[in-house]
Every structure is written in structure tokens, then in C-alpha cells.
Amino acid sequence: MRELVLDTETTGFEPGEGHRIVEIGVVELVNLMPTGRTYHQYINPNRPMPPEAFAVHGLGDDFLRDQPLFDAIVDAFLTFVGDARLVIHNASFDMKFLNAELGWANRPLLPPEQAFDTLTLARKKFPGAPASLDALCRRFGIDNSERTKHGALLDSEILAEVYLELLGGQQPDFALSNDPYEMGAGGKAAPLPRRPVPLPPRLTEEERAAHAAFVAGLGDAPVWGRYAKAGRG
């Protein structure tokens, strides 16, 4: 499965008040493994940078003046994104800005269901605890010492680590999956080889009978009964 961990930096909080995106950073994951592919773009907002926003990310007018407008990069951005799931911390914020920019550029909007919000996941997993990116880095022991200011690509790289920890610290190399693809050379998905003849069952009839007797002694409607009905028992 292809996922894109995404972050943006902006001139403010509301696109309806004329605020714009000034940076997009994206890290690609396939089957929860970083592929090494990223998307990173600074963007000229075509408006002055408010001092309070500059204090957050350090992207000023002199630097952004020489960057392309969103209209100039929108097609490359959409090509990179495709239909991949977007993993975003506080997804509603970034999605409203992305869709505002896409609307101004006369491009199709990103559907809300394409985004997965790690902030919502963190709050469900750790109710009542701080759920900012910095707080989650402290919880999981992730080094974010280079994050002296917000930066879209750096924050996406950090969020990718946080995301895997929120999923349980999975090591994808050892994860069991129904996905028929795994990572191949160069970060590309490659089909897994399949056995020409399935392995024969290893359970003896005596073992099956013993298991059935054990399940029967578990009381009414045991969970194992669902598997037996599905023919997996």
C-alpha cells in the first residue's frame, strides 16, 4: 500500500482570510517502509509573510519571492500524490489549505477520505495526553533535535516515524499482511512468488478432533466458532 506522509507550512491559519501555502513536504511509504522518494517544494504565496508566521517557520518574503507560484507546481504535485493515502498530523488544517489552493488553480479537490489524521489516532490511543508532534516524539524517544523551526519536509520525516510507532512500532519486514506485494529493488512493489502446489495441512485428524472438543468446552458462542463456520477451523 502506498502512503504519503505530508506536511505544509502556511502564511496563517485560514485560507478564507487570504492565507496561502508556502511549503509542501511529502515522504513516500510503501507497505509502511520509506522508499526514499520525497516531494518538497517552496511556494511563492504572492502576499507578505506575517511576522507571527515567519517566527514559526522562518520563510520570509525575500526567500519566497524567487519561488514558483502554486499554479506552476500544481500538476507535478498532483502527479506525485495520485490516489495514495495522505498521512497528516491535524489533517483538517492541511487539507483545507491544499483544497483551497487546488480550487484557486481550477483543479479537482482532494477527497476528505484520502487523508488519515495521526492527531486523531494519537488522541484515541493516549486520551488526555499531549498529542502534538513534539510531544509524541518525546513519548516514543524520536530525535527531533534538528527541529528548531517548523519545516514541511523535516516534519514529514519525523511524522513518518511517529506514524509507525502509533501503529504499534511495527517492523514491516516481519509484518503479516494480505497485501500480495512487498517492496522490491528501488522501492518498487514486486509480486511475491507463489507456491505452484499449496502445502498439505499439517494437522492430523486426532488433533482436529481434540481442538473441536476443546472449543466445545468454551461455552456458548466462543470466538473460535466463527472460524469453524468459515471453514478455517
Catalytic amino acids? 150
- Whether the Cβ atoms of residue 151 and residue 25 lie closer than 8 Å to each other: yes
Closest CA to 71 of 25, 112, 103, 114: 103
CA–CA distance, 59 with 197 (Å, rounded to integer): 60
Q: SS3 of 211, please?
A: helix
- Whether the Cβ atoms of residue 39 and residue 77 lie closer than 8 Å to each other: yes
Residue that the C-alpha cell 509480486 belongs to: 191
Torsions phi, psi of 115, nearest 5? -95, 140
DSSP state of 108: P
The three grid cell numbers given for residue 4, joined into one nine-digit string: 504519503
The three grid cell numbers given for residue 39, joined into one nine-digit string: 516531494
